[in-house]
Amino acid sequence: MWYSDKAPVIEKKYSKSILRYFKVGTHLGLTINPYQGCHHRCGYCYATYKWSPDFYDKIYGKINAPEILESELNRWNKNLILPVMISSATDAYQYAEAKFGITKRCIQILQQYQIPFYVFTKSTLIARDLDLFRNYSDNCFIVWSITTTDEKIRRVLEPGTPPTTRIFDTIKKFVDCGIKCCVNIDPIIPFITDNEEHIESIVDRCQQLGLKRICGSVLRLRHDIWIRIVEILELFGISWATKEYERIYGFQEPFLHENSLSANTTYTDNVVNNLKAVISKKNIAFGFNELLQQITNSRQSYAISLKQRKLSEFV
């Protein structure tokens, strides 16, 4: 159950490996997940698989992740390495990070080895490490995930996240320091956050902060996500929308898909094109591929053995 007032249990665990490949469409990347489980309790979360039933209630800090990361980098047997995404299946700056500091230590290791990285987060705790990012701003960027500026909606959709106004305040600190940032309006949820006013209110705030990049995509459904979305639609008093979801996603109850199901092209194009039109009027670019390209290029000068790249060997 994503909605609960109880704080999760936080425990340590030891991992055997930390650097993992991931693939989204044709994009191949590397990721590290310093935590397992997530305190932010987003009802739409894609990381809640059936093999992690206590995803929201039990957070494991991979306490040996920095040491494992360093040893994996030392054993890396190629000259080049892909930029590292932090994280693909948890928020690396959730509350447990205040207790363990694992993400910070992993970032310090990546910086020691001059490896570019990018962080996906909806946390304000990341401001603790502002100096780390500022001193590495050519080789990193932050993607802030924001779904709504409406507090009533946020409290239901993602009850463990900080209020969006506080996230925007944090983004401002990063933008003001010249750290590359993008806001990711993801997921855009049919009948809850997909209307034009809703999208515009996020874009307007981004423009006020001086953000130059926004991206976004429509919710994908899977069996377990659908169960939560049905409850969310009920909580918002729009249960009738379940029939519209059947039409937009092309399924019939019972919804049993174990793999992600996308909304139909007509709906998706409509929503995404609307977002693109809104941001282009404000001179904001869509997507963060350019940022990825910038940090990927920045590492080419370090195309030598990783063992030799360790910064301490250069200073």
d(CA 301, CA 205): 37
Shortest distance, position 91 Cβ to ligand SF4, whole Å: 4
Shortest distance, position 146 Cβ to ligand SF4, whole Å: 11
CA distances from 226 to 33, 40, 161, 194, 217 (A): 25, 18, 21, 17, 17
Kindly tell me which of 139 and 161 has the beta carbon lying closer to ligand SF4: 161
Kindly tell me which of 90 and 149 has the beta carbon lying closer to ligand SF4: 90
Shortest distance, position 50 Cβ to ligand SF4, whole Å: 15
Please give the helix or strand (H or E) that residue 69 lies within, else none. Answer: helix 65-75
CB burial of residue 30 (10 Å; 0-12, 13-18, 19+): middle
Q: Which residue, 70, 111, 82, is CA-closest to 292?
A: 82
Kindly tell me which of 45 and 96 has the beta carbon lying closer to ligand SF4: 45
Shortest distance, position 157 Cβ to ligand SF4, whole Å: 9
Phi, then psi, of 9 in degrees rounded to 5: -80, 135
Kindly tell me which of 70 and 158 has the beta carbon lying closer to ligand SF4: 158
Q: Which residues of 56-69 are buried (b: 16+ CB within 10 A; e: fewer)?
A: beebbbbbbbbebb
Shortest distance, position 40 Cβ to ligand SF4, whole Å: 4
Q: Which residue ranges make up the site for ligand SF4 (CB under 6 A)?
A: 38, 40-42, 45, 47, 90-91, 122, 158
Is 108 within 8 Å of 132 (Cβ atoms)? yes
Kindly tell me which of 14 and 49 has the beta carbon lying closer to ligand SF4: 49
Kindly tell me which of 41 and 104 has the beta carbon lying closer to ligand SF4: 41
Across the strands, what pairs with 10?
59
Is 163 within 8 Å of 154 (Cβ atoms)? yes
Shortest distance, position 85 Cβ to ligand SF4, whole Å: 12
Shortest distance, position 120 Cβ to ligand SF4, whole Å: 7
Is 281 within 8 Å of 275 (Cβ atoms)? no
Q: In the structure encoding, which two tokens stand for residue 272, read together?
A: 């995404």
Kindly tell me which of 235 and 304 has the beta carbon lying closer to ligand SF4: 235
